[in-house]
A and B are shown apart, each in its own frame.
Chain A
């Protein structure tokens, strides 16, 4: 894990009340591979495009989506799921053209294109006849 967003309290400072605590959840992902690219789909409900951070370094892809507290001070009558940031990282073995990585976020679903770099693409070898 490269990034952690736990708010560290300053030395001597009394840790804040529970309202500063937010759980972090692992989002579900689908990964599709073609000769051209790796295509990732991730469910990040409640994440807006501005609060999504995607990093690719050292063959590690890290996705962090911030989800602001939506229910501060609210007591649930029924509470079936928790709300908090989404965090996930993947080790990518393929060599990726990081300049051309593109991402879209629609209705809480992230679509992430990781184009393979030229040298990683499969190449057809022509066999010379005798």
Chain B
């Protein structure tokens, strides 16, 4: 059996960790949370040409993940994680979640749906969404007056 002893320090750490998870650690950057935070939590960032969406999805396989872009402005993620089927024993701890999820996200700028790509590495999904031409920042050439 597990020695179940009360570890106040561990509890405090856990609380702190949970707080970190909830509020992140970018106090300086003040990330704006989405209107409703669902599963999975997402991080979203951009550069001039792309939007990037990242999610931690340990134990999901790429085949079981569905990624849709609708109208160039909406990203939907769907997936399922099944619990292992075990027999002849008992659970001491069950903290991990199983089942299916579906999450939809309004993108902050419009993207080229045909060129969206996704990578799944060590349980982290990264979706790369190229911005559509019309929303890309464009450098305006200033013509010098030649005369």
* CB < 8 Å neighbour of B34 from A46, A80, A94: A80
A75 at the interface (CB under 8 A from B): yes
**B106 CB to closest chain A CB, in angstroms?**
10
Residues of the B chain whose Cβ atoms lie less than 8 Å from the Cβ of A46: 56, 122-124
B96 in contact with A28 (CB, 8 Å):
yes
**A31 CB to closest chain B CB, in angstroms?**
4
B58 in contact with A44 (CB, 8 Å):
yes
* CB < 8 Å neighbour of B122 from A25, A48, A90: A48
**B12 CB to closest chain A CB, in angstroms?**
11
Interface residue ranges, A against B (CB under 8 Å): 18, 21, 23-26, 28-35, 38-39, 41-48, 59, 70-71, 74-84, 90-94, 105-109
Q: How large is the interface on B (under 10, 10 to 19, 20 to 34, 35 or more residues)?
A: 35 or more
A78 in contact with B25 (CB, 8 Å):
no
B42 in contact with A109 (CB, 8 Å):
no
Of all chain A residues, which has the CB nearest B37? A80
B8 at the interface (CB under 8 A from A): no
Interface of B is mostly: loop
B42 in contact with A29 (CB, 8 Å):
no
* CB < 8 Å neighbour of A75 from B3, B45, B57: B45
A82 in contact with B44 (CB, 8 Å):
no
Residues of the A chain whose Cβ atoms lie less than 8 Å from the Cβ of B61: 107
B88 in contact with A81 (CB, 8 Å):
no
A78 in contact with B34 (CB, 8 Å):
yes
With A26-B17, A78-B31 given, name 8 new contacts (CB 8 A).
Answer: A30-B94, A45-B58, A78-B44, A79-B24, A81-B21, A91-B5, A94-B1, A108-B58
Q: Which of B21, B37, B88 has the most CB of A within 10 A?
A: B21
Q: Given contacts A23-B20, A31-B91, A71-B45, are A78 and B33 in contact (CB under 8 A)?
A: yes
**A126 CB to closest chain B CB, in angstroms?**
22
